[in-house]
Amino acid sequence: KGDRSIQVRGGSGLFTGRIPTVWIVAQSGDAGLLQFTQNFNGQANTPGPFQVDPYRPATPPPAGTAIPASVSAIDPNFKFPQTWKSSLAIDAKLPFGFVGTLEGIYNRDLSIAYGQNPNLVTPQNLNVAGYTDNRPVYPNGVARNINRLTPAGLVSPTGTGNFNPVVLSNGEDGYYWSVTAKLDKQFNNGLSGFVAYTKSGSKVLFDGVGDQLLNTWSITPIVGRANSPELSYAGYVVPDRVIAGITYRKEYFKHFATSISLFLESSIQGTFSYTYGGDLNRDGQNNDLIFVPNDPSGITFTDFNYGTTANPKIYTAAQQSEIFFRYIEQDEYLSSRRGLYAERNGAQLPWRSQLDLRFAQDIFTNVGGKKNTIQFTVDIFNFGNLLNKNWGAFDAVNAPGILVPTNQAALVPGGTVRPTFRLQTDRGQPVTSTFRDVNSIASTYFMQFGLRYIFN
């Protein structure tokens, strides 16, 4: 509107990002070619001048034979990640001096990066009669590899060494959305404040984490097929977030001003994935999402000693089963996933609120016709924890790898052997609860003092 009581803003466009440079550099470091490094140590003089010796070592293996344990490559048709981003917002002046904002954002991934291992054979569904979890599993040990290596690094059908090449490829699935509502108010007496709430959601194939190219394939939690990650919740998105702030500033005696500010942030502390504490699908990685049984008939436990040989603490299969289903009852997320697979980043940590306090004292005067200010500040982060030790504390997950497979090597697709498990160990006993308090400096309040000279 002409009086700017209502403003509409927004935009839409195609954005191209980049991938971590270390993923690109991996092609040279893990190129599958012979590399040699010579180190000189001690008091002896370093031989010189340096000369390139193409015959070092003296008997290099023929090209195309010796292969390192890992090779990194990028698909020849690989494209840098691209996302179509759009936003629309409305700012409106409301009665009683309030200003309201409503903003929506939607992003669509047109090209994302994730890794694949082309040396894996095609997995087969477990397909054990009477067992609900029918995830794909790979052959045991090196049989999962199309090409196997001998101790000398040679490709051989009888090789006993694993070979994990990773190819960085593109996918197209993924999206992000958020809606934010915000209310601002400026008072006439030096008081101002705001409150905002954001609801957001995102699903991706890969979170884009990891400092090695191998991580683009190996650390993404999956159900079965290692080279086909499913669309699931992004690990970097907070579904619900509330922020609020209030500030009061008062000038007096012509040269002094005092301001006090409070800032509140409240949200869940993050998300996590329930995975097995072992390699159930036998792809060589411990990143398999668990299946949540409906009742005790859907899972088989084995006896396990959680103590030592000298001081044993044996928990029978029946005891562990009882503990596990009590665990499910106290866990809101697992209770909602009975008869289903856990989702990547589907479980949430508890809500946490942090209140920060800032005190600022200004001393100002005019010098040469311009305002000069000396400002003393005191910031108390997590101020609520100063008032109550239980406020603002963080939580940690006791055991996201809650179930440890004990017989995955014996599983045969279409066979009769059911997977067996034991409960993960938590401080010397079977895990019994989802969260624990983080007793560290991260959960406490802390202060920061500052001194600034401000001039125009």
For 194-246, write each residue's pLDDT tens digit: 999 999 999 999 888 887 888 888 899 999 888 988 899 999 999 999 999 99
Q: Residue 252 falls within a domain, yes or no?
A: yes
Rounded CA-CA distance 76/272 in Å is: 34
For 125-149, write each residue's pLDDT tens digit: 999 988 999 999 999 889 999 988 8
Rounded CA-CA distance 84/106 in Å is: 8
pTM for the model = 0.88
Domain that holds residue 294: 244-456
Residues 6+ apart with CB under 8 A from 260: 247, 248, 357, 358, 359, 360
> Per-residue pLDDT for 34 more than 60?
no
Across the range 275-289, mean pLDDT stands at 94
- Residue 320's alpha-carbon distances to 142, 400, 404, 450, in angstroms, are 32, 17, 12, 54
> Per-residue pLDDT for 31 more than 80?
no
Question: What is the model's pLDDT at position 172?
Answer: 85
Question: What is the model's pLDDT at position 393?
Answer: 94
Of 73, 68, 70, 58, nearest in space to 34 by CA: 68
Across the range 322-349, mean pLDDT stands at 97
The mean-pLDDT minimum among 65-69, 265-269, 423-427 falls in: 65-69
Q: Residue 398 falls within a domain, yes or no?
A: yes
Number of H helices, E strands in the chain: 5, 28
Q: Residue 45 falls within a domain, yes or no?
A: no
Question: What is the model's pLDDT at position 239?
Answer: 94
For 311-327, write each residue's pLDDT tens digit: 999 999 999 999 999 99
Token pair recorded at residue 2:
């002409």
Across the range 242-258, mean pLDDT stands at 96
Rounded CA-CA distance 442/447 in Å is: 13
Report which of residues 228 and 381 the model is more confident about.
Answer: 381
Q: Residue 147 falls within a domain, yes or no?
A: no
pLDDT band with cut points at 50, 70 and 90 for residue 51: low
Note whether 284 and 269 are within 8 A (CB): no
Rounded CA-CA distance 431/403 in Å is: 10
Note whether 135 and 419 are within 8 A (CB): no
Q: What percent of the chain has pLDDT over 70?
A: 91
Across the range 302-306, mean pLDDT stands at 96
- Residue 49's alpha-carbon distances to 52, 100, 310, 311, 341, in angstroms, are 10, 73, 62, 63, 62
Helix then strand then coil, in percent of the chain rounded to 5, is: 10, 40, 45
Q: How many domains does the chain have?
A: 1
Q: Residue 338 falls within a domain, yes or no?
A: yes
For strand 82-93 and strand 6-16, is the pairing parallel, antiparallel, or unpaired?
A: antiparallel
Rounded CA-CA distance 158/148 in Å is: 7
Across the range 172-201, mean pLDDT stands at 95
Q: Residue 192 falls within a domain, yes or no?
A: no
Question: What is the model's pLDDT at position 159?
Answer: 86
Rounded CA-CA distance 256/40 in Å is: 66
Q: Residue 168 falls within a domain, yes or no?
A: no
- DSSP-derived secondary structure for 9-31: EEEEEEEE----HHHHHHHHHTS
Q: Residue 250 falls within a domain, yes or no?
A: yes
